[in-house]
Amino acid sequence: MRIPRKLEVWRLGTVNYLKALKLQEKLASDRKINKISDTLLSLQHPPTYTLGKRRTDYNLLVPESELKTMGAELHYTQRGGDITFHGPHQAVLYPIISLRDIGLGARKYVENLESTMIDLSSLYGVKAHGQRKCETGVWVGDRKIGAIGVRISSGITSHGLAYNIDPDLTFFKHIVPCGIADKDVTSLRRETRQTDMVLPDEEVVQDQLVTCFARLFGYNDIIWKDKNDLEIDG
């Protein structure tokens, strides 16, 4: 008989980046000592640029002083990957899970994150594909629709993926997204605009992304929790 695998999904709405980072750090610490089970944070951020641990500041194409006037923040992180943008109408998933418990290595983990976004795209008739020659993330042709930047410590994951449902794509013009020049950025809305496909509310799309994640990682017991059901400081 198959042993049920439980995943708690926290629907958090829009969360400040630093607040979400602090929450991830606390949950990752709790997961390491088995105080909590595998948990997935599902949220969006206000306009925010983040840099990975390689500190590739040169891929930010505007002075940092201008970001405030644009209504955006800049934060340095310990995740892998290069510079990226988070903002409204972009689905963000932060898995806090034990790779050891589910028997996955780092490479397969990243591949599954890519497949999560590929599967969601296919629901709307969008043919996406994964990384090619060090170009991580998910692409529609030469247009990037989803980014990945992860941190793994003692087998516990944090950070994760960002999938463009319908963000303001002009924010991406101020960076070299994920350090890959001469490539465009796209969204699910943009890719379905020329078809008869009608997108549901983005909350539905974000929940579908979670469902794709759970299926690919073998979770068959999903416990959904909304922000009002959770005791979160701040």
**Catalytic machinery residues:** 178
Please check if 162 is assigned to a binding site.
yes
Please check if 80 is assigned to a binding site.
yes
How far apart are alpha carbons 158 and 25 in whole angstroms? 8
Please check if 11 is assigned to a binding site.
no
Please check if 86 is assigned to a binding site.
yes
CA 98 to centroid of chain Cα atoms: 17
Please check if 75 is assigned to a binding site.
no
**Is the CB of residue 91 less than 8 Å from the CB of residue 202?**
yes
Residues 6+ apart with CB under 8 A from 203: none
Please check if 161 is assigned to a binding site.
yes
Strands 221-226 and 39-44: unpaired
Please check if 41 is assigned to a binding site.
no
Please check if 147 is assigned to a binding site.
yes
Binding-site residues from annotation: 79-86, 147-149, 160-162
Binding-site residues from annotation for substrate: 79-86, 147-149, 160-162
